[in-house]
Amino acid sequence: MTLKEQKIGFLGAGKMASAIIKGLLKYGISPENIAAGERWTPAAEAARKDFGIFVTDDNADVVRRSDILIIAVKPKDIAEALSTAGDTEHKLFISIAAGVTINSLEKLVGSNARVIRVMPNICATVLQSATGISRGTNATADDAAIAMEIFSAIGVALEINENLLDAVTGLSGSGPAFIFQIIEAMADGGVYSGLDRATAQMLAAQTVLGAATMVVESGMHPGALKDMVCSPGGTTIEGVAVLEQRAVRAAFTDAVIAATDKSEQLGKKK
């Protein structure tokens, strides 16, 4: 079956699940082929209203209805969610929980379970997620292809070794929050310099979007692209010098490393 013919269930309907659901619907998956298990009433009602999908507080019902199960609860809630999942035979489980290892997931779902661990990010809501995918012991090439299709539908997906998923979590999983801070700070600079807030924010956001697009489409090193903008004695190199004085690059590197370390710590608790 193609992805559009399969039934996709979500254990959890929070922010990240909603982002993926929104992306799948934009990709062309029918709401009739999506179900979600959510016990928190506000989240359940929002998913039902916003997406027109089947929502229940019974995880076992979601599992029965689905070919593919996306585990989208918080890491601390996974064991409880899977304990109420009922018969998990012949299902493909895809987990988006940060720090929860494939080994831990396979123990919870069953030793013969087909498990894939992924790390998407919140940019799935605009079909621009950056996602790392790792297949479990029993996951087949076809399973990996299905996961790649799901997450390629909402952005860019790369299959990598599981031992690198914590780094993916620290970089692209947490990264949007870091970039949002950059946009906010740049807009603040624009407002300080006389622009109104709406104009400054739009210019800052489009500047980040344009710069990212140049990196992706050109394949050039970011440093080389930076040099293209820095005219001798000009405005840009003046600003770059300030960023270097304030150790901005080091701060962002350390932020990614800290987020990676936190993901590793979460995994050790499982």
Which string of b and e fits 154-167 if b means at least 16 CB within 10 Å?
A: bbebeeeebeebbb
* Residue 59, marked binder: yes
Is 46 annotated as belonging to a binding site? no
Query: H-helix or E-strand containing 141?
Result: helix 141-152
CA–CA separation, 127 vs 157, rounded Å? 11
- Reading phi first (left if > 0) and then psi (alpha if -120 to 50, else beta), residue 233 is in left
Q: Is 14 known as a binding-site position? A: yes
Sheet holding 8-11, edge to edge: 54-56, 34-37, 8-11, 68-71, 92-95, 114-119, 129-135, 155-159
262 is in an annotated binding site: no
Task: For residue 75, say whether it is annotated as part of any ligand binding site.
Answer: yes
- 12 a known binding residue? yes
Q: How far apart are CA 239 and CA 97, in angstroms?
A: 39
For residue 269, report the phi and psi dihedrals to the nearest 5 degrees: -85, -15
Does 11 appear as a known binding residue?
Answer: yes
**Coil, strand or helix: which one is 169?**
helix
CA atoms of 177 and 76, how far apart (whole Å): 22
Binding-site positions for NADPH read: 59
Q: Mark the binding-site residues for NADP(+), compressed into ranges.
A: 11-16, 72-75
Binding-site residues: 11-16, 59, 72-75
